[in-house]
Amino acid sequence: MVGPLLWLLGADRLGCNKAAIRGWWCPCPTLWLVVPRSPLTRTIIWFRRDLRCSDHQPLLEASRLGAVLPLFVLDRQLLFHPETGVARVAFLLAALQALDCDLRQRGGRLLVRFGDPAAELLRLVREGGAAGVVAHTDSERIVGRVRDARVNRLLAAAAVPVHWVEPVGAVAGLVPYPRYRQLWQQDVARAPLPAPRQLVVPAPADPERPADPADPLADLPIPSLEALGLQPDGKPLPPAGSTAAHGLLSTFLEGPAAQTYYWELSVPSARVTSGLSPHLKFGVLSPRQVVARLAPLADHPDSRRQRSGRQLISRLRWGTSMAQRFRYMPQLELSSLWQCFDQEPWPFSEELYAAWKEGRTGFPIVDAAARCLLGSGGWQELNFRSRAICASFLTNLCGIDWRFGALHFMRHLIDGDCPIDHYQWAMQAGVTQREPQAWTRIYHPGAVAMQRCDPQGVFIRRWLPELAELTNDQLACPPPMAAYPAPILSYEQARRERIRQLAVRRQAGPASNAAQQLAVMPGQPLPFGADRIPAAVVEWARQERAELFPPPLELAALDPVAQTALESWFRPGVRQGPSRPAPEAPRRRGARARLDPNQLQLELWP
C-alpha cells in the first residue's frame, strides 16, 4: 500500500469553504478523505471485481460520510470480449443479485446499468447528484484498463473527482517479488473491515411509479443472459454471493477435505478443492477474509489441517501475485513473456485443435479434462493438475500456440481469471523460460498421468462413460474400440519435436539484456483469436497506442535497479535486497525432488 492520499469530494463544486469541510482518517492507512460536511454528499461506489459488502473499504468509508450510489455497469466490450465465457457471465449476474440483496438488507440497493461505463458514471454524477466516484483498481484485462483510462479522461474533463483504491494484495509501484510477499502477508493479516450497518441510497424520482430507465436512480432489475444477447450453455452454476461463499469455506474448514487438501488437491477424483475460485475471481470474498477464516488452522491439533491451511494461503498469494505481474506487464495477456517465442508462428492443426477441445484425442485423462471443462465450467472438478496435463498436451505434444488453449479455456471456465490462466498456460508451454538449458515439464498423457492423478479411474469414468467397463489398467491406454478414438499422436515423437522447437527458439533469446528481451505492448492490443469469434466486440482495441490505467511499466525506461526488481518476478533466483520469501510448507514424504526453480507449477486452482 502507498501513503495517504488527499481527495476532495467536489467541495469546490458545492461552494464549501474550509469551515464547511472536515477530514476523516480511514482505519486502513491508504486513504485520506476530505469531504463536505453537508449531509447531501453522495458518492458513487463503482463495483467491478469486488462484489461484496464486507471488507470493502470504499463502501464502508463512503457510507460513513453520506449517501452512496452503488453502481455496476454491464459493459458490452467485456460481455462480448473474445474470451468471455457465457457461464461466467451467468455466475456474475447471480453474484449481482446476491449483492443487491445484501445491500437491501442494509437499506441500500444496487444500481445495475448496461452501456459505456464512462458515460453511465458521468450521467449518474450529473443527474444523480453525486460528488465523486470511488472504485478499486483492476488490472485483470487490457480492455478494462482502456475503459478506466477513458473514465479518467471523461470525468476529469467534467471536473469530477475519481479516487482509485488498491484492492487487497495489490501494490501500486514496482517492488521486488520478495518484498511483495512481505507486503501481501502484512495486508492480509489485517482484520477484515466490517460491512456497513446502514446505507443511505437516494430513492428514484417517483418511487410509486414503475421504474423509468430515464431516471438515473431508477430501481431496474438485473437483466438475464438473454436480455444481454447471450445464450445459456447449460453449465451448472456454483452458489453465488457472500453467504454462499462463506458456506463453502465453512464446509471446507469443518469437513474431511481440510485433512487431505495439502496433498490430494492434485487428484481430481478426491474432490477436496475449496470451490472458492469463482468467488475469488469476482471478489465475492477477499483474500483477507479467507485468511482470517483459515487462521484457526494454524493452531489446530491436527497437523494435516495446519498444512492444508498453509497450502490454501500460499495459493491465494500466488493468485494475487499473478494479477500483480499483469499490473506491470499487461502485454502478457497477448504475448509470451519473452519475445523469442512469438517471433515466428507456431505450427497449427485445426484437426488436432478440434480433437483436443472436444475430448477426442484418444488419451483418456486429457479427454476427461476436456469434457469436464465443457460440461461443468471446471470450477470444482477440473483442478490444477488436470488443467496442467490438458495444457501440456495441446502445447507440448500437439505443438499449438498456448494462446489457442487459453482462448478455449477462458470461453468455458466459470472461474476463469486472465492473469492466472494465461500465465499458467504460458508456463506449461515452456515459454516463460528463455535459458537454453531450461527444463520444461511435458506430462505423459497415458499411464503416468493416470497413476498420478486418477489411479482408480473415477474422474475418467465420470466424464468418459464409454470407457466405464474397462479395467483400471486399460484406462491408461484403451484397446481399439468403436466407441473411443485411437490416440491422435505418438507421445515420444511429439515430445522430441517439442524439445527441439523450444531449443531453437531459446537460442534466439540471449541470456543478457533481459529487459530488452521481454514482450512489448503492441500498438493495437487486439485480443488473440478475435477473428475466430464472430460476435466479438474489439473496436476498443483498434485505436493506435491506447492509453491504459493503471499504466504499464515502460520497459525501455527502467534503470538497472528497476530491471532487477522486475526480473525477480519472473526468475525466482533473482534477489534484490535482504528480503527473502518465507519458507514453503514441507513436502510430504515420498514426493518427487524439487523441480527446476524456474519452472513454476499450476498452483492456483484450489
Tens digits of residue pLDDT in 248-287: 999 999 999 999 998 888 777 767 889 999 999 999 999 9
Burial of 512 (C-beta count, 10 Å sphere; 0-12/13-18/19+): exposed
What is the pLDDT at residue 546? 86
Please, what is the Cα angle at 78 between 73 and 79, to 5 degrees? Answer: 85
CB atoms within 10 A of CB 490: 11
Q: What is the Cα–Cα distance from 34 to 27, expressed in whole angstroms?
A: 15
Angle between helices 364-376 and 350-358 (to 10 degrees): 70
CB atoms within 10 A of CB 465: 11
What is the pLDDT at residue 437? 84
Do residues 376 and 463 touch, judged by C-beta distance below 8 A?
no
pLDDT digits (tens, 9 = 90+) for 569-590: 987 655 444 333 333 333 333 3
For residue 123 the three cell numbers come to 450521467
DSSP state of 419: H
Best CA proximity match to 172, nearest among 133, 136, 134, 132: 136
- Report CA dihedral (16, 21, 27, 29) to the nearest 10 degrees: 80
User: Is pTM, for the whole model, over 0.95?
Assistant: no
Residue with cell 443472459: 225
Stretches where the chain sits below pLDDT 50 are 1-38, 575-606
Residue with cell 473527482: 161
Residue with cell 493416470: 450
Residue type, 399: G
Do residues 409 and 420 touch, judged by C-beta distance below 8 A?
no
pLDDT digits (tens, 9 = 90+) for 350-377: 999 999 999 999 999 999 999 999 999 9
Q: What is the Cα–Cα distance from 347 to 501, expressed in whole angstroms?
A: 10
What is the pLDDT at residue 599? 28
Region class of 592: left (phi > 0), else alpha (psi between -120 and 50), else beta: beta
What is the pLDDT at residue 40? 61
- 142, 165, 278, 317, 402 from 169: Cα distances, Å: 20, 12, 18, 8, 28
- Report CA dihedral (391, 393, 397, 398) to the nearest 10 degrees: -80
